[in-house]
Amino acid sequence: MSTTYNFCAGPAMLPQAVMKKAQGELLDWNGLGTSVMEISHRSKEFIALTDQAETDLRELMSIPENYHVLFMHGGGRGQFSAVVNNFLGENGKALYLVSGSWSRSAVDEAIKLTSDAQIDTLDLLVNDNGISAVSIPELAGKATDYRYLHYCPNETVDGIEIVEEINCPWPIVADMSSNIMSREIDVSKFGLIYAGAQKNIGPSGLSIVIVRDDMLKMPSLPQSSIMDYRLAVKHGSMYNTPPTFAWYLAAEVFKWLKVSGGVAAMAKTNAKKAELLYDFIDGSDFYNNTVSAQNRSLMNVIFYLENEDNNADFLAEASRAGLVALKGHRSVGGMRASIYNAMPIEGVEKLVEFMKGFADKYQA
């Protein structure tokens, strides 16, 4: 079988070593004679797995002790409503920063669940001659007492990443679905971090929530028990049956990250991978990227062919070369190469080589 490099934005490729290990122990996990998905989530073997997963994640992200780590249902979007229902109560207010399509979706959900007066939004996107950038205004002086500020540091669809720290007097809630563990961050700067698993952690359906314990004192709205952070803490993320197979694979990804040098090593390779691709795009008049240099995502590299008539040929030839899922999101068009932690640098090298060859062949 020739190597396929999968650039899908999500569910994304998983580390090959993890997939092979899972394959090898699919029918007989841990000497139990059954697969990990056929055992009780309350068995001592499964609890050992979840304990190890939490320990590993805490180590990988240097999560302080006053934070809870939760493994929940419902992916990224599940958290759009969970955050509102857990923290806003009847009259609490929240500020939502909008920097692209996912942060916009988070606001829409928040507005749907609250009264008009509870949600304020700030649009951060500026467009200068077709180049988008994020501009963060001074927030410290704002008088409103928000329960939290919500933002999305990596906009998966738009290829926009916010690297600079947000300075504000309110707890920060961050949707890190597509850049968790791609670079080092200081968890203590956040009130809550959440991430749907299927970009940088494991299979879809699972979401990781890292929440500071004082956040759980905020008044909540009536809500479904399975999305209640307090219940999740109380029951060790097992108020109901958790997505056990996804949890197992996430645990394996954490182990893989640790033996691969942890988040610092990932960050280094991720920067190299992205540089390779952006440098090539910038040096070519066949392809272009429309995001300002300081906001270019390390995880999702969007690019356009100057002549969009070649899009279909590009995708078909790339696919034949073993480079799959490069089509951009339907809302923005063009191409997108998602190069999460699991994408080896060889995949990006092969993509650049292909793009060069394609440009040479199709250049007018």
**Applying CB under 6 A, does 302 fall inside the site for ligand PLP?**
no
**Applying CB under 6 A, does 75 fall inside the site for ligand PLP?**
yes
State the Cα angle at 205 between 15 and 153, rounded to 5°. Answer: 75
Judged by CB under 6 A, which of 204, 223, 284, 292 binds ligand PLP?
A: 204
Judged by CB under 6 A, which of 15, 76, 159, 242 binds ligand PLP?
A: 76
Residue showing the smallest CB distance to ligand PLP in the complex? 75
> What residues between 123 and 162 interact with ligand PLP by CB under 6 A?
152, 156
> What residues between 95 and 124 interact with ligand PLP by CB under 6 A?
102
The residue (of 197 and 266) whose beta carbon lies closer to ligand PLP is 197
List phi, psi (to 5°) of 294. -75, -15
Catalytic residue among 29, 158, 170, 175: 175
Catalytic residue list contains 199: yes
Least Å distance, CB 302 to ligand PLP, is 13
Cα–Cα distance, 303 to 337 (Å, whole number) = 8
The residue (of 291 and 359) whose beta carbon lies closer to ligand PLP is 291
The residue (of 10 and 347) whose beta carbon lies closer to ligand PLP is 10
**Applying CB under 6 A, does 243 fall inside the site for ligand PLP?**
no
Catalytic residue list contains 175: yes
Distances (CA, A) of 345 to 27, 266, 317, 322: 32, 11, 21, 15
Least Å distance, CB 199 to ligand PLP, is 6
Least Å distance, CB 74 to ligand PLP, is 7
Choose among 279, 298, 91: nearest CA to 176: 298
Cα–Cα distance, 203 to 10 (Å, whole number) = 9
The residues near 165 (Cβ < 8 Å, ≥ 6 apart) are 189
Residue 139 contacts residue 172 (beta carbons within 8 Å): no
The residues near 16 (Cβ < 8 Å, ≥ 6 apart) are 342
Residue 348 contacts residue 362 (beta carbons within 8 Å): no
Two tokens at 37?
């998905």
The residue (of 220 and 300) whose beta carbon lies closer to ligand PLP is 300
Contact region with ligand PLP (CB under 6 A), list: 17-25, 73-81, 219-227, 250-258: 73-81
Contact region with ligand PLP (CB under 6 A), list: 72-80, 135-143, 242-250, 302-310: 72-80
- Which residues participate in the annotated binding site for pyridoxal 5'-phosphate? 76-77, 102, 156, 175, 198, 240-241
The residues near 333 (Cβ < 8 Å, ≥ 6 apart) are 304, 308
Judged by CB under 6 A, the number of residues near ligand PLP is: 13
- Which residues participate in the annotated binding site for L-glutamate? 42
Judged by CB under 6 A, which of 50, 81, 99, 178 binds ligand PLP?
A: 178
Can you list the alpha helix ranges (DSSP code H) found in the chain?
16-24, 44-61, 75-87, 101-113, 229-234, 244-259, 262-282, 311-320, 345-362
List phi, psi (to 5°) of 3. -70, 130
Catalytic residue list contains 247: no
The b-or-e profile of 323-341 (16+ CB within 10 A means b, else e) is: bbbbbbbeebebbbbbbbb
> What residues between 4 and 33 interact with ligand PLP by CB under 6 A?
10
**Applying CB under 6 A, does 242 fall inside the site for ligand PLP?**
no
Residue ranges that bind ligand PLP, judged by CB under 6 A:
10, 75-77, 102, 152, 156, 175, 177-178, 196, 199, 204
Positions marked active-site: 102, 175, 199
